[in-house]
Structure 1
Amino acid sequence: MGDGMAGMHHHGGVPGPYTLSTALTWSPDWVFLLGGLAGLLLYWAGAVRLWRRGDRWSAGRAAAWTGGVATVLLTTCTGLNDYGMVLFSAHMLQHMVLSMLSPILLLLGAPITLTLRALHPAGKGRTGPRELAVKLLHSRYVRVVSHPAFTIPLFIASLYGLYFTPLFDTLMGSRVGHVAMMVHFLAVGLVFFWPIMGVDPGPHRPGFVMRILELFMGMPFHAFFGVAVMMAGHLLVDTFAHPPAVLGAAPLADQQIAGGITWAFGEIPTAIVLIALVFQWSRSEDRQARRRDRAADRDGDAELTAYNAYLASLDTRSRQAG
């Protein structure tokens, strides 16, 4: 049955013919289920702490984070994960969601900002969780892994270096390899979109035009990869060479579908990120305009005060002269 079946033992096997209802059957992968639940619990605990304190925290951000975790769980804890072991198209759908949709939703939830606001400072001279988080955020390591010169090549290499080398078949041969690959997809998406989204603080915060350029630097490589997979006349990986007969799938035709999914999927995150950036841009312009107005008001008040003082001094002088 090929290497793809080697990883099947941890789930319930292929849940019959590939349909939407079987793809959405409950089939938990405990690493992702526990990780996702921990992420939800910690986030909501932080949000509730702020609300109880009387601080504001956007319900939209909380909804984005919850949606992000939901997409991770739908990708890894359903029948789609079982199909992803034996069908290239199902695997590629997982890859695209985990690397390009889940990260954007999670980042729109502003988890770093929430963490820094929800944790109490440890006190003078002491180091607590908040201080450690700030230290990590300012560390050289984070500066390197969040720099576009690192994130864009990593984003591209995650596609070409994985599917066009024997690495993919090696990882798919074991449960640990498969889980590590899924975690990698999510992590790569998070570091790629983090500086671009700019919702949370980070070492690299370029202007809006630069962020849009960064977004468009990665996308052509992504689209070209999708086309290359679609047009390939031979199987790129051995894992999906022998899909179970019950699925009635032709491996090469399924590989073409996988390429089509990759090619088409690039549009979705690009649109979401552009909308988010335009929204942030207009809000930052509003904030700057308000700041300028306040400064102008203050300058006006200062001029008025100075003028009144000048009149008072003239009045005093004329009285003294009189």
Structure 2
Amino acid sequence: MSDDMHHPTHGAGMGGGLWETLLPAAAVVLLAAAYLLLAARARRRNPAQGWARRRTASFLTGCALIAVALLPPLAPFAHGDFRGHMAQHMLLGMYAPLALVLGAPVSLLLRTLPAARARAVTAVLHSRPARVCAHPVTALILSTGTLAVLYFTPLYNATLEQPVLHWLMHVHFLLSGCLFAWVIAGPDPAPARPGVPARLVVLGVAVAAHATISQLLYGGFLLDVHAPAAQVRGGAEIMYYGGDIAELLLAAALVATWRPARDRRRRPRSTHRPTAVRVGAVQDH
């Protein structure tokens, strides 16, 4: 990193191709439409219970944040400026995932699927691979630990030249962010989710790790990013302050789920147990 080093341009077709606008836009529209369709189906099947509008609003907000990250004007800016890249990272890896997860898409899916298919989804959620992936430490490594690999190895520079790596990076940001938000504060059922104190500890580690990586970026230590120093420092500031805000929102979401869980434990247990499909279903009132 140096002040006179130019940011490398992306590979052929990146940043200017029409498909790079149409495909993300189409994917976001399809994602939002699928959720709205399932929400409408849930209301038709059970008008009394319905589906909370706040969850729909949250999920659609997440879709809108994905669109902001992947469409103009931010996307072209991110192709040539590290600060734009970091803004994309914040939106795709932290803000959009939290909004999507708070929409409780898995619970919505379970409500609308036939019973046999819903049981199959529940079985997948409780499988051994799902338990490993849904462990808070695994989610922390995938969402935060991989940032060190991205910025302190040649990987980031490779994403600037290889369109496939570039889009895989975006997909990783989004999926790993959703995994972490789901494990820490998601209203959807999660296998072997630890108690709130343990999740708060993991969240605290994530805060410390984000702060450390952003400070190393700002100081240029261990860094392997081909970008002007001013851009890298600006990106580090975005990561530091933007990450703090996102993690505060995640902590607020976690605390908001604490009391309902405690209240449910205080209620007398019914002798009739619901089926596995209903285990962990969110409450909409």
Question: TM-score when scaled to structure 2?
Answer: 0.84
For 1:101, the equivalent position in structure 2 comes to 95
SS of 1:203's partner is coil
For 1:273, the equivalent position in structure 2 comes to 250
Deviation readout 1:196-252 (Å, 9 max, x if unpaired): 1131001132112122112112110110111111111797322x3xxxxxxxxxx21
- 1:195–1:6 Cα change, 3 Å: closer
SS of 1:29's partner is helix
For 1:174, the equivalent position in structure 2 comes to 162
Q: Once the 2 structures are TM-superposed, how far is the Cα of residue 287 of structure 1 from its aligned partner?
A: 3.8
For 2:33, the equivalent position in structure 1 comes to 41
For 1:112, the equivalent position in structure 2 comes to 106
What is the distance in 1 between the residues matched to 2:182 and 2:35? Answer: 18
Paired residue total: 264
For 2:261, the equivalent position in structure 1 comes to 284
- Deviating more after overlay: 81-90 vs 171-180: 171-180
**Aligned residue identity for 1:30:** L
Q: Does 1:52 align with 2:40?
A: no
**Aligned residue identity for 2:143:** F
Q: Of the two, which has the highest radius of gyration? A: 1
Deviation readout 1:267-308 (Å, 9 max, x if unpaired): 11222122222222223334445x25x99xxxxxxxxxxxxx
Taking only the aligned residue pairs, the percentage that are identical comes to: 33
**Aligned residue identity for 1:98:** L
What is the distance in 2 between the residues matched to 1:166 and 1:264? Answer: 25
**Aligned residue identity for 1:150:** T
For 1:5, the equivalent position in structure 2 comes to 9
For 2:181, the equivalent position in structure 1 comes to 193
User: Which of 70, 76, 79 is residue 70 of structure 2 equivalent to?
Assistant: 76
What's the Cα RMSD here? 2.4
CA contact (8 A) 1:229 1:255 kept: yes
Structure 2 gaps of 5+ residues are 271-285
What is the distance in 1 between the residues matched to 2:103 and 2:92? Answer: 16
SS of 2:91's partner is helix
What is the distance in 2 between the residues matched to 1:272 and 1:154? Answer: 20
- Deviating more after overlay: 26-35 vs 255-264: 26-35
User: Which of 40, 59, 66 is residue 65 of structure 1 equivalent to?
Assistant: 59
Q: Once the 2 structures are TM-superposed, how far is the Cα of residue 27 of structure 1 from its aligned partner?
A: 9.3
CA contact (8 A) 2:90 2:239 kept: yes
- 1:277–1:157 Cα change, 3 Å: closer
Q: Does 1:141 align with 2:133?
A: no
For 1:16, the equivalent position in structure 2 comes to none
**Aligned residue identity for 2:252:** I
Question: TM-score when scaled to structure 1?
Answer: 0.75
Higher RCO (Cα < 8 Å, 6 or more apart): 2
For 2:207, the equivalent position in structure 1 comes to 219
- 1:159–1:81 Cα change, 3 Å: same
